[in-house]
A and B are shown apart, each in its own frame.
Chain A
Amino acid sequence: MENTNEMQLIFDSRSSNESFARVTVAAFMTSLNPTVEEVSDVKTAVSEAVTNAVIHGYEGEVKDVIIRCRTEERTLYIEVEDKGKGIEDVEAAMEPLFTTKPDLDRSGMGFSFMEAFMDELEVESKPGEGTVVRMKKIIGKGRKLWTTQSL
């Protein structure tokens, strides 16, 4: 299709890669002409999903985290996948302030932030097999199209 673009990113589940992951997704979305606010929203959401994979999915083990991004017209689709231990109860995990690791100073706000900053959030998880977080955001909502004047 004409107006679509895709990318895939596979990296080690190290905390030092969290910044790399969100910056890469932010760079990928620039073709949609996002506002600074929209870029920040996406960066935060990606950071949350990747942090979850590192801390909870793999629990510190170094394995692959996979990010798939797709743009379709002005919609950005992001998938963050790990093949870690999975989530027993997805619904409970998505409750604000729910955390299985309070001793590590986890705030339990990860999924809440993803939900707040993206337009759609879907979590698919099987204990023992891994987790896929799917997010969608429409870029430039409520913004009027404009054209530059020719010189």
Chain B
Amino acid sequence: MKYQVQENCLTIFLPKELDHHNAEEIRKESDHLIERNHIRYVIFDFADTIFCDSSGIGVIMGRYKRIYMLGGEVCAVHANERMKKMLVMSGVTKIMQIYEEEK
């Protein structure tokens, strides 16, 4: 898992498979980073992700709750069609923007 902190913004480069197993690690590490670096914005980068289940959705919802309490925002980038479908179905698109990259 890779993370990047730029000022108060944390980018999480999500793994290939965002399931319960990987979600646990992201939850722990990202919460630690959010606390230590006074993070207000979290970007979930789906560029490498080809699989996501409800555990992945749980991680996003959990980070949203935390960041929302701090007055910040979360968003997603580079989501493929499948990932977009999962995000829309689960309703997290109501709390989070999905940005497309301009090419």
**What is the interface of chain A, defined by CB distance below 8 A to chain B?**
15-16, 18-19, 37, 40, 43-44, 47-48, 51, 54-55, 104-110, 112-113, 116
The answer to whether B17 touches A51 (Cβ under 8 A) is: no
Closest to B55 in A: A51
A55 to B89, CA, bound (A): 23
Which chain B residues numbered 11 to 64 have a C-beta less than 8 Å away from chain A?
Answer: 17, 19-21, 23-24, 27, 51-55, 57-59, 61-62
* Per-residue interface assignment for chain B, residues 59 to 80, with 1 indicating a CB less than 8 Å from any chain A CB and 0 otherwise: 1011000000000000000000
Bound complex: CA A75 to CA B86 (Å): 24
State whether A113 touches B53 (Cβ < 8 A). yes
A105 to B63, CA, bound (A): 9
Dominant SS at the A interface? helix
**A107: chain B residues within 8 A (beta carbon):** 54-55, 57-58, 61, 90
Cβ–Cβ contact B62 & A48, under 8 A: no
Which residue of A is nearest B61, CB measured? Answer: A107
Q: What A residues does B90 contact at CB under 8 A?
A: 107, 109, 113
Given contacts A105-B61, A109-B90, contact A47 B23 (CB under 8 A): no
B53, A47: Cβ atoms closer than 8 Å: yes
**A54 and B54 contacting across the interface, CB-CB below 8 Å:** no
Contacts of A37 in B (CB 8 A): 82
Using A15-B21, A18-B21, A19-B19 as known contacts, say yes or no to A113 and B54 having CB atoms under 8 A apart: yes
Q: Which residue of A lies closest to B27 (CB)?
A: A105
- The chain A residue with its CB closest to the CB of B60 is A107
- With a cutoff of 8 Å between Cβ atoms, the chain A residues found around residue B59 in the complex are 105
Chain B residue at minimal CB-CB distance from A43: B51
Q: Which 6 A-B pairs give the minimum distances between C-beta atoms?
A: A105-B62, A107-B58, A15-B21, A109-B54, A105-B58, A107-B57
B51 nearest CB across to chain A (Å): 7
Would you give 8 A-B contacts (Cβ < 8 Å), ordered by A?
A15-B24, A16-B21, A37-B82, A47-B53, A48-B53, A48-B54, A51-B53, A107-B55
Contact of B53 among A44, A55, A104, A105 (CB under 8 A): A44
Closest to A17 in B: B21
Please tell me if the beta carbons of A55 and B82 are within 8 angstroms of each other in the complex: no
